[in-house]
């Protein structure tokens, strides 16, 4: 019994041990698009924890305390020059770059 092929498949012929074998092969998947950087403008009353939690939720990930802590650390590391030495003091209007690997 022969299986029907889809338009995306191609037929390849292999010779193994003197017998000819036909295989349907799918083409390789295209690479994913490059990640885009996201910016966030700090508004009054926000802190790194709240920004990290909102970003995780926007990406459909669980906002467990450990995940939020790690994400907040990554956001701070990516924006240390804009935030300054104290990550607990965010100035309204500061533009933060949100890393793609939260």
Q: What's the rounded mean pLDDT across residues 57-82?
A: 93
Whole-number Å distance between alpha carbons of 30 and 68: 32
pLDDT in tens, 13-34: 656 667 777 767 777 888 877 7
Whole-number Å distance between alpha carbons of 5 and 72: 49
Give me the DSSP letters along 57-78.
Answer: HHTT----HHHHHHHHHHHHHH
What pLDDT band is residue 101 in, cutting at 50, 70 and 90? confident
Whole-number Å distance between alpha carbons of 62 and 51: 14
Predicted local distance difference test score (pLDDT) of residue 16: 62
What pLDDT band is residue 69 in, cutting at 50, 70 and 90? very high
């Amino acid at each position: 019994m022969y299986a029907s092929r889809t338009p995306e498949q191609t037929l390849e012929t292999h010779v193994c041990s003197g017998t000819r074998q036909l295989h349907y092969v799918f083409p390789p998947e295209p690479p994913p698009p490059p990640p885009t950087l996201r910016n966030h403008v700090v508004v009054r009353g926000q802190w790194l924890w709240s920004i990290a939690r909102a970003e995780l939720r926007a990406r459909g990930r669980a906002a467990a305390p450990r995940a939020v802590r790690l994400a907040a650390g990554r956001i701070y590391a990516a924006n240390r020059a804009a935030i300054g030495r104290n990550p607990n003091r965010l100035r309204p209007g500061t533009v933060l770059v949100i890393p793609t690997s939260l």
